[in-house]
Amino acid sequence: MARKQFQTLSEPMFYILLCLTEPLHGYAVMQRIEELTAGRVAVGPGTLYALVSRFEKEGIVSRIPSDEGKKVYCITEKGKQLLDDELDRLKNMINDSSSVLRG
């Protein structure tokens, strides 16, 4: 189910998963995405919350205990695999387009 649903990741999905390779709470994910992309990708709190909930339901991220009283999430092995696959897909696209456009 998760494989089909998240076969290709949208930009917000990709960056959320990328940020969650280290344990972070919601707002920290938003800040980290902004930092990583120099403001190019913006993820609003509602969008982030909905995506993380879907990821959690599919076992792509999991909640980890935190002393701060905030919900802290981290990517699971399944999520890492998804991210790796997406990275391969993107690399292939870059290689294909480079060979066509730049010889």
Partner 1 sequence: MKTLKKKRFTQEAYEYKQIEGKLEQMAAKGWMLVEIKNNTWYFEKIEPKQLQFNISFHGEEGIFDYPQGDEKKSLRELCEESGWIFAAENMIYQVFYSEKNSEIQPIYTDDQVTFPIMEKIIKRNQLIMLGMIFIFLFHVMRDLSNYHILKDVLKRPSAELPWSFLAVISILILLAFSEYWLSKNWQNIRVGRPMFFYTQTQIWIRNTLSYGLVGLYMFNTLSKLFDYPENIKLTVSILVILGIQIVVLRWVILNFKRVKRSKNKNIAIYIGSGVLLWIVGVFVIFNLIVSGIS
Question: Is 25 within 8 Å of 73 (Cβ atoms)?
Answer: yes
Q: Write out the two tokens for 25.
A: 């709470």
> Is the Cβ of residue 7 or residue 91 nearer to partner 1 in the bound state?
7
Q: How many CA atoms lie within 13 A of 80 on its CB side?
A: 6
* Segment lying near partner 1 (by CB under 8 A), choices 42-50, 79-87, 94-102: 42-50
For partner 1, the closer CB: 30 or 75:
30
Q: What is the DSSP letter of 1?
A: -
Of residues 44-103, which lie at the interface with partner 1 (CB under 8 A)? 44-51, 53, 70-71
- Cα 56 to chain center, whole Å? 12
Residues that bind partner 1 (CB under 8 A): 10, 12, 26-27, 30, 42-51, 53, 70-71
